Amino acid sequence: MVRINVLDHQTIDKIAAGEVVERPSSVVKELVENAIDAGADAITVEIKDGGTSFIRVTDNGSGIEKTQIGNAFLRHATSKITSADDLTKLVSLGFRGEALASIAAVSMVEMISKTPEDLTGIRYVIEGGVEKEKEEIGAPTGTTILVRNLFYNTPPRKKFLKQPQTEGSYVADLMEHLAMSNPRVSFKFILNGQNKFYTTGNNDLREIIYRIYGKDISGELIPFQKEFDGMSVTGLLGKPVINRSNRNYEIFYINGRYIRSSLISKSIEEGYREYLMQHKFPFCVLHFQIDTNRIDVNVHPTKMEVRIADGPVFYETIKQAIHETLHAQEMIPEVLLTEEVKEKQAVRQSVPEPFEHRRLEQTVMPARSAAIQEIYQKSRPANIVMQKNSILHEAITYDTNSKEPSAANGMGAEASPVVLDKTSETTAQPVIDKAEQMELFDDKLLSAKAKEQYEILGQLFETYWLIAYQDKLLIVDQHAAHEKVKFERFMKRFREHDMISQTMNPPMIITLNGKEKECYLNHAGDFEALGFVIEEFGGNEYAIRGVPMDLYGYEEGEFFYEILDELVDEAVTGTPESIRIRIATMACKAAVKGNTRLSREEMKKLIDELLTLDNPYNCPHGRPTIISMSKYEIEKKFKRIVT
Ligand code: ADP
Ligand code: MG
């Protein structure tokens, strides 16, 4: 006889935990949302080992009553709704009453909490869903929760986690998004004992961006605002000069919640259209307020997608409003040698713990401390004194365009971006008059002869290669060059149906929903042309047995879905050919992601290959790959030649 067992509640919790707790970042998300729901205005998050061994979230919110603390860890226990009716008028972030129960089921949790009314607090320890300790304890008002050894009792889930560094980068991304979505809350984020960032909670979005992404980004933002029919949006649009190489910096929130939405992404990108070079995406942080009856918020707890009613109208309105805002601005990039360094509010090195925060609010923040000043200085790799109309000047202008902020995960960032020191001492105050493209290559470099004639002199700023060629000094941007070569190679293979795939063993099984499946079937040929090997696996399941070669830094499944999402999106229109090209360029982007540290040997190979291309001078984004300075020009600069 087959016995049908009723599972005990610990087993049920463990299974259900998989719904809410996928990885350390999902734990942090739930805990921070709880702190926000509890009215905290100062929240500290500390993680170690990517959050796998240690997560601590401290807040100065309402705290939990001693008698209630055990209840908080019961499944479907919540103080936020009492019946399904409340769901429609939901304002709090959490409401399912699942998070604490789920987290406690798969880790070792310790919570210390005190309400403002009580004189003492309570300490509660629960491991694997089993209560271990409960005692009265002296504590500040608010809640501290420690989550240790995530998935210690569910080894298969633990195995599924990525390297601590990667998990840590997910948490860092999340913290940045949370900080920007809650500008009134002061956040402090500590990663492996190091302060990552601190925001003051003064409701200034631009300042938060400054603290997270630095002044090169925060100095290039345009305020954006639009109200229409049951919706409003406010925020900051990055000027095209800070366009990014991926979509990670299209940051938007709906009613305070960080959301990914291809509809919104597309509307923003279309608004930027004429300012976006190929493969470039805008930087923006936008807060949407949308009537709750016009969006579907009751999505899966770990998912960030949302459905919006009247999608097409929404899309058009946002696109148009962004277009108009950008148009109203003067977009000529300006590079000044001496620029007033705006006095930013001081970044405090030691920041208050959440419970101290209110008390310290009265104290005056000291002017930018010497220590911070020092850190600031150290983060500048080079002082570049620019000269009016020099070629270097032009090169640097371009580099500023493409510079990535120091993304915590290091992915997608270009190698060692040059930081302009705008405070460099100089008497001149030049502005670029015109950024004209040099006419460099009269005597073509493309000959076999040229290959024998050039000499690699060395590398500058870990990014540029200096090359002597005849009477010229050539400066090659290794990243742009690498990208160009890869792009050409890739497109050639794609056109000639000669893509190389890389076998996945074991194959990855994916499940497509109806719309996705239909879309996949329509484009199965394109996926194949790209190098995907996909087989039916029965029903809505497919087995990915091969993926395009060279997907550096991309996860195979992620890439498949990214292309599919793009295709599913109604906003993608165009001829099948244009869609194919688009897919190919996306794929190319994947192929060149990440840093490219090159040895001299590799550089030589790269230059040789670059020189075989029809147009080696520009990367696919239109940036130059090579600039040149003639002997004549150099001699003029040294006043050996006077004209
Ligand atoms: P939900 O947030 O969906 O209600 P949780 O499991 O996340 O469910 O939390 C359960 C309950 O515990 C919350 O409803 C709230 O009453 C209480 N709680 C959790 N975290 C905090 C906190 N940081 N401060 C005060 N109360 C909290
Ligand atoms: Mg919650």
Residue pLDDT, tens place only, 604-635 = 888 888 877 766 766 665 667 788 888 888 88
pLDDT of 70 > 50? The answer is: yes
In the chain, CATH 3.30.230.10 sits at: 205-327
In sign, the C-alpha dihedral spanning 25, 26, 31, 33 is: positive
* Average pLDDT over all residues of the chain: 74
Q: Coil, strand or helix: which one is 572?
A: coil
Q: How far apart are CA 379 and CA 88, in angstroms?
A: 48
Task: Find tokens 């994916």 and name the residue.
Answer: 510
Q: How far apart are CA 610 and CA 620, in angstroms?
A: 13
In the chain, CATH 3.30.565.10 sits at: 9-198
Q: Which atom of ligand 1 is nearest to the CA of 59?
A: 23
Q: For residue 504, which phi and psi values (nearest 5 degrees)?
A: -105, 120
Provide CATH code, domain 205-327.
3.30.230.10
Q: Which atom of ligand 1 is nearest to the CA of 62?
A: 25
Instruction: Determine the distance from the C-alpha atom of residue 609 to the mean position of all C-alpha atoms in its chain, rounded to a whole number.
Output: 32
Q: Which atom of ligand 1 is nearest to the CA of 30?
A: 7
Query: What integer pLDDT is reported at residue 394 of this predicted model?
Result: 29
29, 36, 37, 74, best to mutate for ligand 1 pocket (most atoms within 8 Å of CB): 37
The pLDDT tens digits of the residues spanning 184-241 come to 999 999 999 999 999 999 999 999 999 988 888 898 899 999 998 889 999 999 988 8
In the chain, CATH 3.30.1540.20 sits at: 443-643
Q: How far apart are CA 390 and CA 441, in angstroms?
A: 18
Residues with Cβ within 8 Å of residue 433, at least 6 apart in sequence: 389
pLDDT of 145 > 60? The answer is: yes
Compute the distance from residue 35 Cα to the ligand 2 centre, in Å.
Answer: 8
Compute the distance from residue 134 Cα to the ligand 1 centre, in Å.
Answer: 17
Q: Which ligand is nearest to the CA of 104?
A: 1
Contact criterion met (CB below 8 Å) for 231 and 291: yes
Residues by chain with Cβ below 5 Å of ion ligand 2: 34, 94, 99
Compute the distance from residue 107 Cα to the ligand 2 centre, in Å.
Answer: 16
Query: What integer pLDDT is reported at residue 571 of this predicted model?
Result: 47
How many Cα atoms are found within 13 Å in the side-chain-facing hemisphere of 18? 12
Nearest residue (CA) to ligand 1, atom 8: 97
Beta strand 42-48 with 121-127 is unpaired
Contact criterion met (CB below 8 Å) for 404 and 416: no
pLDDT of 448 > 60? The answer is: no
* Residues forming a β-bridge with 547: 502
CA dihedral 129, 135, 136, 142 (to 10 degrees): -20
Q: Which ligand is nearest to the CA of 16?
A: 1
In sign, the C-alpha dihedral spanning 497, 503, 507, 510 is: negative
Nearest residue (CA) to ligand 1, atom 13: 78
Instruction: Determine the distance from the C-alpha atom of residue 1 to the mean position of all C-alpha atoms in its chain, rounded to a whole number.
Output: 54
Domain 443-643, architecture per CATH: 2-Layer Sandwich (3.30)
CATH number for domain 9-198, candidates 3.20.20.70, 3.40.50.300, 3.30.565.10, 3.30.450.90: 3.30.565.10
The count of other CB atoms within 10 Å of the CB of residue 217 is 22
- Identify which has the larger pLDDT, 21 or 339: 21
Pocket around ligand 1 at a 6 A CB cut-off: 30, 34-35, 38, 59, 61-64, 72, 77-80, 94-101, 143
Compute the distance from residue 93 Cα to the ligand 1 centre, in Å.
Answer: 10
Q: How far apart are CA 253 and CA 235, in angstroms?
A: 10
Residues with Cβ within 8 Å of residue 508, at least 6 apart in sequence: 543, 544, 556, 557
DSSP code of residue 84: G
Query: What integer pLDDT is reported at residue 225 of this predicted model?
Result: 95
